[in-house]
Amino acid sequence: MTSTTRRIPIRRPNPVVAGLTATTGSARALRVNDYDSDDDFNHEDGNDDSNGNDNNGNDGNDNDGNDDDFQVCIQALNNRLSAIQPSIQRRIQVDRYQSLIDQCIRDLCRDVGGLAHAVNAMQRAQDQEMIRVNAELAELRAQLERELRNLSRRST
């Protein structure tokens, strides 16, 4: 005797649909029981009519030919967009401020680099000036020593 096993599909929630349902509160337009992976809603018949469980060619569950579920989904998307739009605007502002901050940092680094070069140049000039002054002082010292020797010879 052979036994047959029935494959039980694993249902994973769709985060987009879950977010839309949470936004609109509409379970009718956004319920998905897609066990057969053919992108249809609420049935396992393989028809890709995405219109609820009436299978009569009408969109929506009221059989009047109106696209009710689609309109509810569009409204849900609009509501969700309205809900996240301030967050997007804040992110755009943050990005704008961040780019301004980055530019200021680059400018400061360039200025600091320029200042560092200027300080180094001043330090080199100061070092050269100190060498020149020390050379003059050595020359003056030598001259004073000669004059002191001359004076001491004359006085004796």
Per residue in 8-28, pLDDT tens?
666 655 555 555 444 444 444
- Alpha carbon distance 125, 74 (integer Å): 73
130-140 tens-digit pLDDT: 999 999 999 99
pLDDT reported for residue 72: 83
In this prediction the pTM is: 0.34
What residue ranges of the chain have pLDDT lower than 50?
20-44, 48-49, 51, 54, 58-59
Identify the H or E element spanning 85: helix 68-155
Task: Please give the share of the chain, as a percent, with pLDDT higher than 90.
Answer: 28
| Contacting residues for 51 by C-beta, under 8 A, at least 6 apart | 41, 57, 58, 59, 60, 61, 69
pLDDT reported for residue 10: 64
